[in-house]
């Protein structure tokens, strides 16, 4: 009977034309894997999502975004052919025509304004192969030094801090499986419960096993709820809070002399600095009572094992890199790094925030985390690419600086791939005004995003279900995503589009790839010997397991945990750095009396280009809203659920009001997933961290009024 039933079901599935696709979520850095079952029932398609229980990272879990990710893929607003703007309207054209237009426009810009007048803007959700190819495309096919990407706004503070402190930047020094074993956890500026929901079980297990959890955040969130102590500090004062904790740790003798002596530099300077600072000043600066600072420091100091995690809340500031350095100082002076349950992690935001920053789509970078300024590195990459090292352009400028160059008409042509800078850049009104000055804007996307609306030419790209390639998750674990769904209409993969543009520009000999695997095999060679060494990783291996980098040869098992015996600087030591008082924020004033901080909500991802086109996710959270404390709402005369106008020196938005006691009285919060009148980046401050060029997304001064 059972066999008969099975047989019947199988037959039914075949009749229903069932297709099972193995894939992984395109959104956050957990990259949870799943099966999508597509079934045709009479004339209707039905979709079922089954999480992968064997996934070593997500362990069979998916959040609401992953469960509904396919909805944007099947959205009928997808662009399925190239489109040219004629008299303000997009008109379908053929690929041949699109490529001819690109050739003509790019060549004329190069002739009139020079090679560096063309620029490329990439994204942290591109596959490793496409991020790699984009860097090569800019430097070899376009011969421009101007390439950067939206990951500049995601990971640059943490990446710079880790590179300077440890000599290498892999977001997490330990695998996620270490978290349940640790006895103290610091979660600084991260709302993992909404941004990376499937990571939460690791922290809940740790809590069950007795870990003490310290949350640092101006808002009470679903994440701070799991904390034993929530330090609800003034926005942008994290660096100071950590100085207070460091002072207590040293005074109470929690510094690890052996570790400091044998594995670090710089402790003496820090000791001297800490002697001269006062906890009372830190209380004043941060708004956190001394008793809470002492408790947090002692719980971290006395735990046998501890892990520190930072995210954009502490990183997206004009001193974001230094703030992260101070959190790393906690690990280094206590020796709580490089062993099981002890380490540091920057919780990556974008799906491929890790891999996307390793292989060359950053202005100063070549594949394998090599430097474009380093002659040896240039020589190696030039030999892999088959070009003269002296023909490789030099370092370009960061993402926001590219916009400034566009505004000054120093850059006149732009190719955007997989990004929506009109929404995701700070000071968005200026950004939109600048993008309109371009002689030629090409956007490669799945939808007519806010940036695509400004384009002269749109090129349709494939979705996560259609495009195969590797990604590197927040742990530094490389995963291979299948692309089993047929591309609709005239859609092409990003790498195919780049190859075809290179070919029409006469540089096709450098881009002879027939598959993402071909690109990956070149990336492996390019990365060999670099900090992010993928040489031993192959598609064949990735079909069987997910591998951590560095993985320098095919017999290497990959590196789960970093720094067990030495750091990555040439002398094997980590560097402790004094983080002194630095001006770090636009001050509030009578005219602009509130701090604005921004972030994500559970149902949406980045600028919302995909999640706003998913019916379930969009109906969950259809519009932006501001969170404001009841006392602040009363003071400024705004009512719950009413529309309010929020203004900074740079612009204004109109959003609905949500009154909640979960936020500080001096601070308001608005998510950043919407465009136009709800685009909160119209208000944000473009001042950036001088070392890593991270803008101050998380803090600016604003005023509020009823609308």
Separation CA 561–CA 341 (nearest Å) = 10
Closest residue to ligand SF4 in the complex (CB): 66
CB of 369 to ligand SF4, least distance (A): 24
Residue 176 as a binder of ligand SF4 (CB under 6 A): the answer is no
Binding segment for ligand SF4 (CB under 6 A), chosen from 62-70, 89-97, 395-403, 663-671, is: 62-70
Separation CA 263–CA 279 (nearest Å) = 28
Strands (E) in 634-699, as ranges, are: 643-647, 652-659, 667-671, 685-688, 695-696
Nearer to ligand SF4, 30 or 399 (CB): 30
Residue 347 as a binder of ligand SF4 (CB under 6 A): the answer is no
* 487 token code pair: 């591309």
In 3D space, the residue among 99, 104, 103, 141 whose CA is nearest the CA of residue 120 turns out to be 141
Separation CA 667–CA 139 (nearest Å) = 43
Helix, strand, or coil here: 166?
helix
CB of 473 to ligand SF4, least distance (A): 9
CB of 204 to ligand SF4, least distance (A): 14
Nearer to ligand SF4, 32 or 249 (CB): 32
Sign of CA dihedral 194, 596, 579, 362: positive
CB of 195 to ligand SF4, least distance (A): 8
Binding marks (x or -) toward ligand SF4, 23..52, rule CB under 6 A?
Answer: --x-xx-xxx--------------------
Nearer to ligand SF4, 2 or 619 (CB): 619
Nearer to ligand SF4, 412 or 611 (CB): 611
Query: How many chain residues interact with ligand SF4 (CB under 6 A)?
Result: 14
Nearer to ligand SF4, 198 or 310 (CB): 198
CB of 178 to ligand SF4, least distance (A): 19
CB of 141 to ligand SF4, least distance (A): 32
Using the rule CB under 6 A, which residue among 23, 36, 52, 65 binds ligand SF4? Answer: 65
* 276 token code pair: 């001269």
Nearer to ligand SF4, 329 or 352 (CB): 352
In 3D space, the residue among 81, 124, 152 whose CA is nearest the CA of residue 458 turns out to be 81
* DSSP 8-state symbol, 550: P
Nearer to ligand SF4, 63 or 594 (CB): 63
CB of 471 to ligand SF4, least distance (A): 10
CB of 92 to ligand SF4, least distance (A): 32
CB of 196 to ligand SF4, least distance (A): 5
CB of 169 to ligand SF4, least distance (A): 21
Separation CA 137–CA 392 (nearest Å) = 11
Nearer to ligand SF4, 167 or 351 (CB): 351
Residue 125 as a binder of ligand SF4 (CB under 6 A): the answer is no
Separation CA 498–CA 129 (nearest Å) = 12
Which residues in 245-264 contact ligand SF4 (CB under 6 A)?
none
In 3D space, the residue among 506, 496, 501 whose CA is nearest the CA of residue 98 turns out to be 501
Nearer to ligand SF4, 392 or 471 (CB): 471
Strands (E) in 189-246, as ranges, are: 212-216, 229-231
Strand pairing partners for 495? Answer: none
Lookup result for tokens 């980045």:
606
In 3D space, the residue among 597, 704, 620, 52 whose CA is nearest the CA of residue 317 turns out to be 597
Separation CA 627–CA 640 (nearest Å) = 10
Using the rule CB under 6 A, which residue among 23, 36, 52, 66 binds ligand SF4? Answer: 66
β 365-366/343-346 pair status: unpaired
Nearer to ligand SF4, 65 or 629 (CB): 65
Lookup result for tokens 């063309």:
118
* 115 token code pair: 């090679």
CB of 25 to ligand SF4, least distance (A): 3
Nearer to ligand SF4, 126 or 246 (CB): 126
Separation CA 241–CA 366 (nearest Å) = 36
> CA neighbours within 13 Å on the CB side: how many for 433?
11
Residue 62 as a binder of ligand SF4 (CB under 6 A): the answer is yes
Strand pairing partners for 172? Answer: 345
In 3D space, the residue among 504, 413, 460 whose CA is nearest the CA of residue 83 turns out to be 460
Residue 63 as a binder of ligand SF4 (CB under 6 A): the answer is yes
Residue 584 as a binder of ligand SF4 (CB under 6 A): the answer is no
Which residues in 179-208 contact ligand SF4 (CB under 6 A)?
196-198
Separation CA 218–CA 188 (nearest Å) = 10
Nearer to ligand SF4, 53 or 433 (CB): 53
CB 552 within 8 A of CB 667: no
Residue ranges binding ligand SF4 (CB under 6 A): 25, 27-28, 30-32, 58, 62-63, 65-66, 196-198
């Amino acid at each position: 009977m059972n066999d008969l039933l099975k047989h019947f079901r199988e037959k039914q599935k075949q009749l229903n034309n069932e297709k099972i696709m193995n894939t992984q979520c395109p959104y956050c850095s957990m990259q949870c894997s799943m099966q999508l079952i597509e079934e045709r029932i009479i004339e209707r398609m039905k979709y079922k999502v089954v999480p992968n229980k064997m996934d070593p990272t997500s362990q069979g879990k998916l959040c609401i975004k992953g469960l509904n990710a396919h909805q944007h893929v099947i959205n009928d607003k997808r662009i399925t052919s190239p489109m040219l703007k004629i008299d303000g309207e997009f008109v379908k054209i053929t690929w041949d025509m699109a490529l001819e237009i690109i050739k003509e426009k790019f060549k004329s810009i190069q002739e009139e304004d020079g090679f560096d007048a063309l620029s490329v803007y990439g994204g942290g959700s591109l596959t490793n192969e496409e991020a790699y190819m984009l860097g090569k495309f800019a430097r070899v096919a376009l011969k421009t030094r101007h390439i950067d990407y939206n990951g500049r706004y995601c990971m640059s503070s943490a990446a710079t801090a880790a590179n300077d402190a440890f000599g290498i930047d892999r977001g997490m020094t330990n695998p996620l499986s270490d978290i349940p074993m640790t006895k103290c956890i610091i979660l600084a500026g991260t709302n993992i419960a909404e941004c990376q929901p499937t990571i939460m079980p690791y922290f809940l297990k740790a809590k069950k096993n007795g870990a003490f959890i310290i949350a640092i955040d101006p808002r009470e969130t679903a994440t701070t709820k799991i904390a034993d102590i929530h330090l609800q500090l003034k926005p942008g004062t994290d660096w100071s809070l950590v100085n207070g904790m460091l002072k207590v740790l040293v005074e109470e003798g929690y510094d690890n002399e052996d570790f400091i002596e044998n594995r670090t530099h710089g402790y003496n300077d820090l000791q001297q600095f800490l002697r001269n600072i006062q906890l009372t000043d830190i209380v004043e600066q941060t708004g956190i009572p001394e008793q809470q600072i002492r408790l947090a420091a002692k719980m971290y100091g006395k735990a046998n094992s501890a892990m520190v995690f930072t995210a954009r809340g502490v990183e997206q500031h004009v001193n974001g890199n230094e703030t992260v350095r101070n959190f790393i100082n906690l690990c280094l002076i206590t020796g709580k790094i490089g062993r099981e349950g002890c380490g540091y992690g920057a919780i990556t935001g974008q799906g491929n925030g890790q891999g996307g920053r390793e292989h060359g789509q950053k202005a100063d970078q070549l594949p394998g985390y090599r430097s474009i300024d380093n002659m040896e590195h240039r020589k190696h990459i030039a030999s892999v690419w088959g070009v003269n090292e002296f023909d490789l352009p030099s370092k370009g400028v960061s993402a926001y600086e590219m916009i400034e160059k566009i505004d000054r008409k120093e850059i006149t042509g732009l190719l955007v791939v997989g990004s929506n800078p009109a929404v995701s850049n700070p000071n968005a009104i200026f950004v939109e005004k600048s993008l309109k000055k371009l002689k030629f804007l090409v956007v490669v996307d799945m939808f007519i995003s806010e940036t695509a609306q400004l384009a002269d030419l749109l090129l349709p790209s494939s979705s996560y279900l259609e495009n195969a390639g590797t990604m590197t998750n927040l742990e530094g674990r490389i995963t291979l995503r299948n692309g089993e769904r047929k591309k609709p209409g005239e859609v092409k993969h990003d790498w195919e589009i780049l190859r075809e543009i290179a070919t029409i520009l006469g540089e096709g000999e450098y881009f002879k790839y027939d598959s993402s695997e071909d690109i990956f095999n070149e990336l492996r060679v390019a990365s060999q010997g670099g900090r992010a060494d993928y040489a031993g990783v192959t598609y064949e291996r990735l079909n069987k397991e997910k591998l951590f980098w560095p993985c320098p040869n095919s017999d290497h098992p990959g590196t789960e945990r970093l720094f067990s015996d030495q750091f990555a600087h040439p002398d094997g030591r980590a560097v402790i750095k004094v983080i002194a008082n630095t001006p770090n924020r636009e001050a509030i004033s009578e005219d602009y009396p509130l701090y604005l901080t921004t972030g994500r909500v559970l149902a949406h991802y980045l600028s919302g280009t995909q999640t706003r086109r998913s019916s379930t996710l969009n109906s969950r959270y259809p519009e932006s809203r501001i969170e404001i404390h009841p006392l602040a709402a009363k003071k400024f005369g705004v009512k719950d659920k009413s529309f309010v106008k929020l203004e900074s020196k740079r612009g204004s938005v109109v959003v609905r009001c949500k009154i909640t006691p979960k936020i500080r009285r001096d601070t308001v919060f608005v998510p950043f997933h919407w465009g136009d009148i709800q685009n909160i980046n119209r208000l944000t401050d473009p001042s950036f961290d001088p070392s890593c060029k991270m803008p101050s997304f998380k803090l600016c001064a604003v005023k509020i009024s009823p609308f």
